[in-house]
Amino acid sequence: YDLSGKTSIRQLTFEGKNRFPIWSANGTHVAFQSDREGDAGIFSQRSDGGSPAERLTKPEKDTVHLPESWSPDGKHLLYSVAAGALNALWVYSADTKKSTPFGDVRSPRLISSTFSPDGRWVAYTLTTNGLNQVFVQPFPQTGVKYLVGSGARPQWSPDGKEIFLYRNEGTFVKTVTTQPSFSLSNETKLPFNVYVGRGPGSGR
């Protein structure tokens, strides 16, 4: 739907069940999960419908792929590989057309990973013994990870200086500093909840 109201709503996909749309940073493409070829892989299509959908990933048997976040330069896509009750974080390279695990990030709940606006950091949710925690790692990986705090479904502010996270009692925000090193402020609870109607184990 064009917010200018100058055009009518257009249908983008026509084959199979298509879910979990993720915009590219420049708005020209949408990545989504589709079962159009018999599995739950990830496809990408121009948002103006000007070209056929391109398959990005092909899941192994009994696994499902869920797209989560494009890097700002459009060269990498974070996605979850769901197998039974476990989710693992992977990253797809648009240059090599291949996918690799993003470290050992695995969680029984949705990971909800997201690139920072500069593409140099990844925030995600990790659930251990029922406790949801948000972490940040550099991208590409260095093996270092930082605990942001208790919560789920992290979201960066457009300028990359804040991280929002959800807990049952509301939405919280922390100020982020990435140069010369990564650091966080004390968290502040917002007077309103930007995450509505879904629990911490659900997506953003």
Distances (CA, A) of 136 to 53, 115, 145, 155: 32, 10, 6, 11
Q: How confident is the model at residue 7 (pLDDT cuts 50, 70, 90)?
A: confident
- Dump pLDDT digits (tens) for 25-45: 999 999 999 999 999 999 999
Q: Which residue has better confidence, 16 or 168?
A: 16
Give residue 201's pLDDT. Answer: 53
Give residue 196's pLDDT. Answer: 64
Q: Would you give the distance in Å from CA 145 to the centre of its chain?
A: 17
